[in-house]
Structure 1
Amino acid sequence: MNLRQLEVFQAVLQTGSMSAAARLLCITPSAVSKAVAHTELQLGYRLFNRTPAGLKPTPEAQVLAVESGSIYRQLDSLQRTARNLATTELGDVRLAAIPSITHEFLPTLLHQHALQHPQVGVEVRTIHQDQMTQALLTRSVDFGLGFFEHPHPQVHSELLVSGRLSLAVARTVWDRAPRAAALAARLAQVPAIRLVGDDPMRQSIDSTAHRLGTPGGPGIQVQTSRLALELVRLGMGWTVVDFLTAIRLDPALIVAVELHDLPPMSLYSYHASQHPPGLHATRMLAMLPALLHQALSPRPRA
């Protein structure tokens, strides 16, 4: 099968009809029909059977679909790269970020990028750290943003900024203790809101809980720091948050205490080592240092 035959084959697979495949490829239905017939003649077997519900792939076509799917995706990626290189104005960027970055910082980046490059489309995927490898190596995204250096040998990590972790607790819970009380005394009977699974923040929470003598027991474990913070706001316990989240907390509702006994947390950008970001993704990445510096600058007090 040549690339044109592959393109037609995939279009018929996706749409289930010659006419719909023709509209997808911007050619005539007869051209699609001829391409399928020529491919079947070359291969020596049928690819599609006509049914009341439309064209259905034969068992042979289903095997071909699995084998050719990755080739078709690579072809689509090649075409996309070629379009991005053809002009400095049109194109798109696909990025992935962990939830805390997506909710706390990414809107600022997307807003500034849209002002500077209004003709460039942006696709954002919110994923967890353990999903980053697949997204990068399958080229589903151009780059990713996450905390901690990525351990995979085929993923390149670029340090962007570092900051302190903070313990977050509701103002109502914090103010129950005398002002001079130490942190351990203030939170001696306050449970920790932990994160489930292999989230890297879990270790920081567990370490802080051990140091503070936090009560044991099953407690509450959640999947995202955002949900943990909602429980903190309700006075259900304390949790540990990153520096981007800490600076956006309302001090009237939540107290953020920097944890100097824990190592700083670093924000990194990631990309597949064999596939560096293209022009538009590189432009977006170049905006990050200044925006992060601005976001982390001390704000004037009212």
Structure 2
Amino acid sequence: MNLRQLEVFQAVLQTGNMSAAARLLCVTPSAVSKAVAHTELQLGYRLFIRTPTGLTPTPEAQVLAAESLSIHRQLDALQRTARNLATSDSGDVRLAAIPSITHEFLPRLIQHHAQQHPQVGVEVRTIHQDQMTQALLTRSVDFGLGFYKHPHPQIASDLLVSGRLYLAVAQSVWSRAPRAAAASARLARVPVIRLVGDDPMRQSIDELAHRLGTPGGPGIQVQTSRLALELVRLGMGWTVVDFLTATRLDPQQMFALELHELPPMSLYSYHARAFPPGLAAMRMLAMLPALLREALSAGQPRAPRR
């Protein structure tokens, strides 16, 4: 099957009849019918059977559909890239980011991008780190943003910026202990809000909890740093946040303690090695370093009072 035959085959599969497939391809129904007949002649077996409800794929066609789906997706991606290159002021960008980046930094990036490229569409997916591999390898997104280098061999990780981790605690909790007391003394009896699953941040939280002598027990575990931080605001404990989140904490309500004893955290962009980002996505990626430096310099967390 050549690419044109594949395109017609997929169109008939999607629509279930010749006329609808023809409208999808902007050709006549007779052209679709001839293409299907010619393909069947070449292959030596039927692809579709006429039924009262339309065209039903044969078992052979179902096997071909499964095998050809990835080729069809790559063809769509190629056509989209070609359009983006031909019309440099238009196109679209699809990106995925973990929740903490989506909520804390991404609005600034999207605003700046819209000002520079108003004709380019942007689609954002908020996903967790363990969902990033599937999104990238299935071409659901052009690139992803997350903390820590991606372990999958087919995913490329490009370092954007590094920064310290911070312990976040409500001012009301911090001020209960004498100001002269060290952080370990102030937080010795304060519970920790942990993250569930394999979130890379969990290891840092557990290590700090051990250093501070935080009480054991089941405690509270949540899926996102954003929810953990909301519980911290309510005075229910402390947690660890990244440097971007720390810059946006309200110093009237929260203290952000820089954690020099823990390794820095790095922010990366990810993309599938087999499918590098297109022109529109590369333009957005090029904006990231300057915007990240600006965000970090403009919002350095205030040190807590001792």
Offset at 1:289? 1.3
Whole-Å Cα distance in 1 between the matches of residues 282 and 255 of structure 2?
A: 37
Gaps of 5+ in 1: none
Whether 2:130 is the aligned partner of 1:120: answer: no
1:254 deviates by: 2.2
Q: Is the 8 A contact 2:194 2:228 kept in 1?
A: yes
Deviation at 1:269, TM superposition (A): 1.5
Amino acid at match of 1:76: D
Go from structure 1 to structure 2 and tell me whether the alpha carbon gap of 1:215 and 1:26 turns closer, same or farther (over 3 Å shift).
same
After superposition, where does 1:134-213 map in structure 2 within 5 Å?
134-213=134-213
Offset at residue 291 of structure 1 (A): 0.7
Q: C-alpha distance in 1, partners of 2:44/2:299?
A: 71
Name the amino acid aligned to 2:157: S
DSSP-derived class of the 1:297 partner: helix
Query: Hey, what's the Cα distance between the residues in 2 that align with 1:262 and 1:212?
Result: 13
Identity of aligned residues (%): 83
1:4 aligns with 2:4: yes
Q: Which residue of 1 aligns with 2:24?
A: 24
Shift, 1:258, TM fit: 1.2
Q: TM-score, normalised by structure 1?
A: 0.93
Hey, what does 1:281 align to over in structure 2?
Answer: 281
- The one-letter amino acid of 1:111's match is Q
Answering whether residue 55 of structure 2 is matched by residue 55 of structure 1, we say yes
Call closer, same or farther: CA 1:5–1:57 in 2, change over 3 Å: same
Whether 1:88 and 2:68 are equivalent positions in the alignment is no
Number of equivalenced pairs:
301
- Distance in 2, matches of 1:43 and 1:163, equals 59
Question: Take 1:205 and 1:54, find their aligned partners in 2: how far apart are those partners?
Answer: 58
Query: What one-letter code is carried by the residue in structure 2 that aligns with 1:49?
Result: I
Partners of 1:66 and 1:133 lie apart in 2 by 21
Corresponding residue of 2:268: 268
Inter-CA distance 297–18: structure 2 relative to 1 (3 Å threshold): same
Structure 1 match to 2:304:
none
Distance, in Å, in 2 between the alignment partners of 1:20 and 1:236 is 58
Q: Which residue is equivalent to 2:221?
A: 221
CA offsets 1:88-117 (integer angstroms, 9 cap, x no match)? 212222222111111110110011001101
What is the TM-score normalised by the length of structure 2? 0.92
The letter of the residue matching 2:136 is L
SS of the residue 2:204 aligns to:
helix
Distance 1:62 1:300, change over 3 A: closer
Of stretches 225-234 and 150-159 in structure 1, the one that deviates more from structure 2 is 150-159
Aligned partner letter, 2:124: V
CA distance in structure 1 between the partners assigned to 2:300 and 2:229 by the alignment: 25
Pairwise CA distance, 1:216: 0.7
Deviation at 1:300, TM superposition (A): 9.4
Q: Deviations over 1:229-275 (max 9, x none)?
A: 12212222211000001111122222221111111111112223343
Distance, in Å, in 2 between the alignment partners of 1:61 and 1:300 is 59
CA distance in 2 between counterparts of 1:84 and 1:166 reads: 41
Give the distance between the partners of 1:29 and 1:97, measured in 2 at CA. 43
Deviations 1:47-94 (A, max 9, x none): 223334433222111111100101111111111121122232122222
Deviations 1:184-225 (A, max 9, x none): 222222211111111110000000100111111111211111
Query: 5+ residue gaps in structure 2?
Result: 302-306
The 5 Å alignment of 1:254-265 reads 254-265=254-265
CA distance in 2, matches of 1:106, 1:232: 23
